[in-house]
Structure 1
Amino acid sequence: MELTQETLEQKKAQLAKDSIRVQAVSGKGITLGIGQVGQNFVSIYFDTLPGNKPSTYGNTVSIWQNADETIPWDSPAYKTKKIDKDTPNGDAIFEGLNLDLYSYVLGYSVGPELGSGQQKYGNVCATAFVPAIGGDPIAPFSSSVKVGYIGGNSLTADFILPPGVFPKTNGAWIGVWESSQASYTRQPDYSNNIQVDKARGSAYINGITIGRGATYTIGLFMSGWAGGGRPNTLTTMACTFTFTAPS
């Protein structure tokens, strides 16, 4: 079936019933966690994807004063720290805070600030909330993607991104490799942009052939779509999902 965004929205339940059944191997997203919290500081730790080079690829962690766990997408961050190492995981400390009075939300970004017409912090893919002293904790958030439907020549991917993000506007996209791992250096075998400005939704790819017993990996990128037939930015990967087709 040749998919369009309209078809996908209207027939999602039927597509799920008709889908080729695959075996999920693994799914992974970037995680951001809270370590130690004091009256005027908070330490954080992060775990990103295999092959990521946070310093080289411009990864950052930003913090805002905010009453809840949502990112103020276009408001200047209170502070931003550039990740200065190329190891996929690490930690950092934010100082000069006032946790007696204020709560804060932090966001891990897989790339630099976006330009005009896009959300400034649209590369944020993982968040963590620090309540004011005495406030209720909220679990950290990580973006995720998984297979929704696989047909004879098409595939859909269901995604969950931070609330309030506009993936279409920001140039978010998905890619599929016939491999057990997504790549930061090799363009995917198939790709398409995300065509909705929703934090929870589905994307699709047409013209894809799923081989019997073969293993594939979906990667979701927060920005960098250049268009079909042109190289897309590979360094803004937020999450992956690996699956094996039936034999």
Structure 2
Amino acid sequence: MKTHLPLAIALGAAKLNTCKIEITGYTGQSITVAFSGLPANQPSTYKNFIAIWEASVIPWTVTPLRTIEIGVNTEDGTLTIDNLTITYNSYIVGYGVGSGVGNICASAILNAGGTKAPLSYVNIGIANLGQTSLSVHYQTLSGYLPKENGNWIGLWEGYVSPYNLPPDALIKKEVNSYANQGVIGLNNLSLGRDTEYTLIYFMGADNTTAAAILTFNTSDPTSEK
């Protein structure tokens, strides 16, 4: 009987890139944020934006207090949201990687009293790896609906940029769940040993709405020391 030896992630070979936003300062009339996008992202070209609500969790169906498009094509930068009235309530800012609130993939909270909460952002990871299948764990922001917003993931061999995708994806799959976190199975694959792969999570149909990139290399666990 033929035995299928398992695959594993090569030690030290996995790398995760995510989008993030952080509140770096505030006054009674403004909040300053630092944003960080994916490698090769062009925020101005791809309609990235920052939005703010007076809330502790993004109220997805409520119009933001302010929405400001990012006007520079640098992966990282800062932006000040002015013309606000900052009270002792909580405020949350979101970073969108495309036009529309459904593309927000990272957030930061200024709690009542001025304390900051831990950052939140779209995250992906490998739950299980086999020769012909891959289980992917995903997590989006609180209250977010992946299926409603057309989220999907894709897997490619080698290192791939979402902003210059090759046509030969190994697999693409929609996130067919309204849960803000879960596991997605990618089946009928043929994964090689000692091979690099790129897994990307997208917020919408456009490939420029990428929110997280995971690159990893497969290995034979029996050879690990």
TM-score, normalised via structure 1 length = 0.81
| Superposed counterparts of 1:37-76, under 5 Å | 37-66=26-55, 68=56, 70-76=57-63
| Superposed counterparts of 1:40-119, under 5 Å | 40-66=29-55, 68=56, 70-113=57-100
Picking from 87, 92, 108, the partner of 1:128 is 108
Q: C-alpha root-mean-square deviation of aligned residues, in Å?
A: 1.7
Give 1:46 shift.
Answer: 0.6
Picking from 20, 31, 34, the partner of 1:31 is 20
Q: Is the 8 A contact 1:221 1:236 kept in 2?
A: yes
Residue 195 of structure 2 corresponds to which residue in structure 1?
A: 214
Deviations along 1:22-68, one digit per CA (max 9) or x if unpaired, are 124211210101112112111101111001111111111101111x1
Deviations along 1:191-213, one digit per CA (max 9) or x if unpaired, are 11111111111122222221110
Q: Using the alignment, how far apart are the partners of 2:32 and 2:114 within structure 1?
A: 18
Residue 191 of structure 1 corresponds to which residue in structure 2?
A: 172
Structure 1 gaps, min length 5: 1-17, 114-120, 225-232
Give 1:180 shift.
Answer: 2.9
Q: Using the alignment, how far apart are the partners of 2:87 and 2:121 within structure 1?
A: 27
Q: Using the alignment, how far apart are the partners of 2:70 and 2:84 within structure 1?
A: 20
Q: Using the alignment, how far apart are the partners of 1:60 and 1:135 within structure 2?
A: 23
Residue 164 of structure 1 corresponds to which residue in structure 2?
A: 143
TM-score, normalised via structure 2 length = 0.88
Verify: 1:154 aligned to 2:126, yes or no.
no
Distance 1:194 1:19, change over 3 A: farther
Q: Using the alignment, how far apart are the partners of 1:204 and 1:52 within structure 2?
A: 28
Deviations along 1:94-119, one digit per CA (max 9) or x if unpaired, are 11222233321100011111xxxxxx
Q: Using the alignment, how far apart are the partners of 1:177 and 1:158 within structure 2?
A: 17
Residue 137 of structure 1 corresponds to which residue in structure 2?
A: 116
Distance 1:19 1:147, change over 3 A: farther
Q: Is the 8 A contact 1:51 1:184 kept in 2?
A: yes
Q: Is the 8 A contact 1:182 1:218 kept in 2?
A: no
Query: How many residue pairs align between the two structures?
Result: 212
Give 1:135 shift.
Answer: 4.5
Give 1:136 shift.
Answer: 3.6
- Ranges of 4+ aligned residues in structure 1 off by more than 6 Å: none
- 3-state SS of the aligned residue for 1:170? coil
Verify: 1:175 aligned to 2:154, yes or no.
yes
Q: Which amino acid aligns with 2:45?
A: T
Q: Using the alignment, how far apart are the partners of 2:65 and 2:193 within structure 1?
A: 51
Give 1:19 shift.
Answer: 6.4
Q: Percent identity?
A: 29
Structure 2 gaps, min length 5: 221-225
